Structure 1
Amino acid sequence: MTAIKTTPNLSDNALLDEVQRQTFRYFWDFAHPVSGLIRERTDFVATRPDLVTIGGSGMGVMAIIVAAERGFISRDEAAERVLKMVRFLLTAPTYHGVFPHWMNGATGATIPFSRKDDGGDLVETSYLMMGLLTARQYFSRPNPAESEIRSTIDILWGEAEWDWYAKGGHAVLFWHWSPNQGFVLDHEIRGWNECLITYVLAASAPRYPADPRTYHRGWAEARVFENRRSYEGIEVPLGPDYGGPLFFAHYSFMGIDPRGLTDQYADYWRQNVAHSQVNRAYCIRNPQGYAGYGPNCWGLTASETDDGYRAMSPTSDLGVIAPTAAIGSYPYVPDESLAAMRYFYEERGRDLWTEYGFVSSFSDARKWVSPTHIAIDQGPIVCMIENGRSGLLWELFMSCPEVRQGLGLLGFSTKAA
């Protein structure tokens, strides 16, 4: 990690450009040289240089699209890189069409995420497919490279057996399956959390869709699904107390457009705005008295700490701020997010700003700054800023006819419906 100088007195638009451009370098310069897929984190490269992340690679595809539209790279360069990625994915092992959490970026071999997690990861595959479908819609020109991107993505998308992960017809989807372990991890995907995209894609799948009842009887029938209580004076429709870590409002919504999105359970724009506001208000109130917290220094989510990776929230607050949390909420609370971005960049840049954008996290209370960047921290920074600025990724993903059909099957209404 190399600290770099910041540029003083940038306008708001120039600052947004700078943060997107620099953070994008994680997905471009630091990508695996053989496959183009995205490495998990910078501090792994010395000991595990070939380890790539499937979910982070989906976010990387979306970041590449943003970079092409913003002129950081050319469209042809973007197409060349995405084509490299999807060609590699087409040769890699899958588990009923579902990719593992981690993969060897040179060979495609599965790298176990844990001792029994050595097969398909449905949620990570959801983030990958979200990125690939967005790319399929973006690369719409009839030239050979873009045509091959579209046809290859259609193969990958069509081969994923979402119904297999209902474990023989259960009314819920399961996170993991492997030929060695089967469904032994028995991890049901229930809400409210970061996995809405999994159920939307499962209903949208062209060949192996999951029954829509898995959404209503599995996802929505969970102990921490409906909330409707108030925190910091703000009602939170869904989720655990205080809404949970902020990545709940980011990961699925890099593609799913929450503007005007409703179903029988929630208004999803209202959900994400409230979640962001509560998280910030909690940090301002700062009931544990942590150093550094304030109106411009807020954001609790899953990130690195000085004691490993943790999912932090107002109910699990370790005094660690993650720049991705506030910045990823840019579409929902643009003024407050931009103020935090400016603080991280202008006042804390000496500690936080590097060749790949902001580091994962920091803690003034612990006098600690993360030495690493993590793919799923960097992805929401590039992509959610863009959704707040232009709606680009939302418009692309929601233009997929299968996605619109799947949302309808689950009972969603959208602004364009």
Structure 2
Amino acid sequence: MTDRPHQGEGRRGGAPDDPALLDLVQRRTFRFFWDLAHPASGMTPERVTVGAPPGDLVATGASGFGAMAAVIGAERGWVERGEAARRLLRKLRFLEAAESHHGIFPHWMDGRTGATIAFSPDDDGGDLVETAFLFEGLLCARQYFGGAGEVESALRAAVDRLWARAEWDWHTRGGEDVLYWHWSPSRGFAMNLPIRGWNECLVAYVLAASSPTHPIRPEAYHRGWAGGASFRNGQRYYGIELPLGPAFGGPLCFAHYSFLGLDPRGLRDRYADYAEQNRRHALINFEHCVRNPGGFAGYGADCWGLTSDDTSGGYGELSPTRDLGFIAPNAALGSFPYLPDQAMAALRTFTERLGDRIFTAFGFTSSFSEAAGWFSRDLIGIDQGQILGMIENYRSGLLWRLFMSCPEIRHGLRRLDFEMPEPAGA
């Protein structure tokens, strides 16, 4: 598999033109999921340091994004469809045998054995949000691999078995009108973290309402998710009115993780038009970096994007209200569907001016700060998923079509009173 731009697709000074550059970035990012997958299970590593081999720690949510990567790779012809299906089936068989907690998987597990690896002392059990990202990818794969052959049939059946096992309603703590993020077999709901919006977790509520076996009541969405103190907004930031979310929108991952599968175009409920919500959120983030109130070196119209990611002091939430001078490439590149011109300008900077420091054979490293002279040497699975998946949605809408074609998802969205376009061909 080559990742060089196509011949004849040149741009100024020999640089690739926009389609060729997007091909290059997607192919390299795909290699993170394909080449660095765990050799025993096919699961995706949480993070990989440049030049170091991946270990046995794998991440559930990133592995869901890895399932999306396999679909994209097969669709674009980077890998043979049958090999992508076989790899996914191996991952699914691993998940069926791995440790889960009421059908909900932990954030981290051992890629050899499937045993839970504690994320923190009280977080040694089911992580509902990571599991939602996993199923977001698995359902896309189920819809894509619809062939009659043995491998694709087995793949779909395995996804359905896992989907049926997941007890989303367990995470309502006995029927409360809200979902809780974590449950531990030894500590129960000790973390006591209700999932209230607006943040990156919308897809968890959609999946929970869509479950064929363990659905939540719609009241959990309206009273729990939509009842959070930072759900409704309506204020203006840099002259842009923001319907939902915290001040200035929060990290840009809010507009990416759930919307790898959920198609925001025409998606509305009583609270927001989600295409407009995400566009405005991204535009506020862009405007903040252009205006650069912190005076950080490198910020501008061609270098922007604040989200939860690495800093020189560790991983943390970054946004206009917590701007420490660190840009995460996935923030701008995951926003291609919302701000394509601004995202392309950032991509040029990330590959041309900064490429030798942040653009690797497996995609972009997690973040950088020109102000601090610091450039991450780590690649993070969920970051890579946002870049690969959202660029694909911008280019072809592939993941959006697949996820929104799931009959259970459409039923769940209707249960929550969403409006959405009819699927193509309906």
Question: Given the two structures, how large is their TM-score scaled by the length of structure 2?
Answer: 0.95
Give the whole-Å Cα distance in 1 for the aligned partners of 2:226 and 2:307: 22
Give the whole-Å Cα distance in 2 for the aligned partners of 1:230 and 1:75: 47
Give the whole-Å Cα distance in 1 for the aligned partners of 2:232 and 2:49: 38
1:150 matched to 2:153? The reply is no
Give the whole-Å Cα distance in 1 for the aligned partners of 2:361 and 2:288: 31
Deviation per CA, 1:265-313: give whole Å up to 9, x if none. 0000000000111100000000010000000000000111100001100
Alignment of 1:128-143 (within 5 A): 128-143=134-149
Q: How far 1:43 moved relative to its partner?
A: 3.0
The correspondence for 1:352, drawn from 350, 358, 365, is 358
3-state secondary structure, aligned to 2:156: helix
Letter of the aligned partner of 2:45 in structure 1?
Answer: R
Q: How far 1:5 moved relative to its partner?
A: 10
Q: Which consecutive unaligned segments of at least 5 residues does structure 2 have? A: none
Letter of the aligned partner of 2:106 in structure 1?
Answer: P
Cα RMSD for the two superposed structures: 1.5
3-state secondary structure, aligned to 1:174: coil
The correspondence for 1:338, drawn from 344, 361, 379, is 344
Deviation per CA, 1:304-349: give whole Å up to 9, x if none. 1100001100000000000000000000111111111111101111
Q: How far 1:354 moved relative to its partner?
A: 0.7
Deviation per CA, 1:218-252: give whole Å up to 9, x if none. 00001100001111111111000110000000000
- Which residue is 2:186 aligned to? 180
Taking a change above 3 Å as real, the CA distance of residues 206 and 238 of structure 1, as seen in their structure-2 partners, is same
3-state secondary structure, aligned to 2:341: helix
Give the whole-Å Cα distance in 2 for the aligned partners of 1:342 and 1:70: 23
Alignment of 1:266-415 (within 5 A): 266-415=272-421
- Which residue is 2:61 aligned to? 55
Give the whole-Å Cα distance in 2 for the aligned partners of 1:186 and 1:45: 39
Letter of the aligned partner of 1:27 in structure 2?
Answer: F
Taking a change above 3 Å as real, the CA distance of residues 331 and 395 of structure 1, as seen in their structure-2 partners, is same
1:194 matched to 2:200? The reply is yes
3-state secondary structure, aligned to 1:35: coil
Q: How far 1:45 moved relative to its partner?
A: 9.6
Letter of the aligned partner of 1:50 in structure 2?
Answer: D
Q: How far 1:47 moved relative to its partner?
A: 9.4
Give the whole-Å Cα distance in 2 for the aligned partners of 1:358 and 1:333: 19
Give the whole-Å Cα distance in 1 for the aligned partners of 2:53 and 2:194: 33
Give the whole-Å Cα distance in 1 for the aligned partners of 2:396 and 2:54: 37
Give the whole-Å Cα distance in 1 for the aligned partners of 2:115 and 2:271: 40
RCO (CA 8 Å, sep 6+): is it higher in 1 or 2? 1
- Which residue is 1:32 aligned to? 38
Letter of the aligned partner of 1:53 in structure 2?
Answer: A
Deviation per CA, 1:139-194: give whole Å up to 9, x if none. 00000000000000000000000111000111100001121010111100000000
Q: How far 1:41 moved relative to its partner?
A: 0.4
Alignment of 1:240-255 (within 5 A): 240-255=246-261
1:77 matched to 2:83? The reply is yes
Of all paired residues, the percent bearing the same amino acid is: 57
Give the whole-Å Cα distance in 2 for the aligned partners of 1:365 and 1:310: 18
Q: How far 1:46 moved relative to its partner?
A: 6.0
3-state secondary structure, aligned to 2:72: helix
Q: How far 1:355 moved relative to its partner?
A: 1.3
Taking a change above 3 Å as real, the CA distance of residues 395 and 47 of structure 1, as seen in their structure-2 partners, is closer
Give the whole-Å Cα distance in 2 for the aligned partners of 1:358 and 1:120: 30
Alignment of 1:222-261 (within 5 A): 222-261=228-267
Letter of the aligned partner of 2:323 in structure 1?
Answer: D
Give the whole-Å Cα distance in 2 for the aligned partners of 1:375 and 1:55: 8
Alignment of 1:60-139 (within 5 A): 60-139=66-145
Q: Which consecutive unaligned segments of at least 5 residues does structure 1 have? A: none
2:133/2:258 contact within 8 Å kept: yes
Give the whole-Å Cα distance in 1 for the aligned partners of 2:54 and 2:397: 36
Deviates more, 1:83-92 or 1:47-56: 47-56
Taking a change above 3 Å as real, the CA distance of residues 47 and 119 of structure 1, as seen in their structure-2 partners, is farther
3-state secondary structure, aligned to 1:77: helix
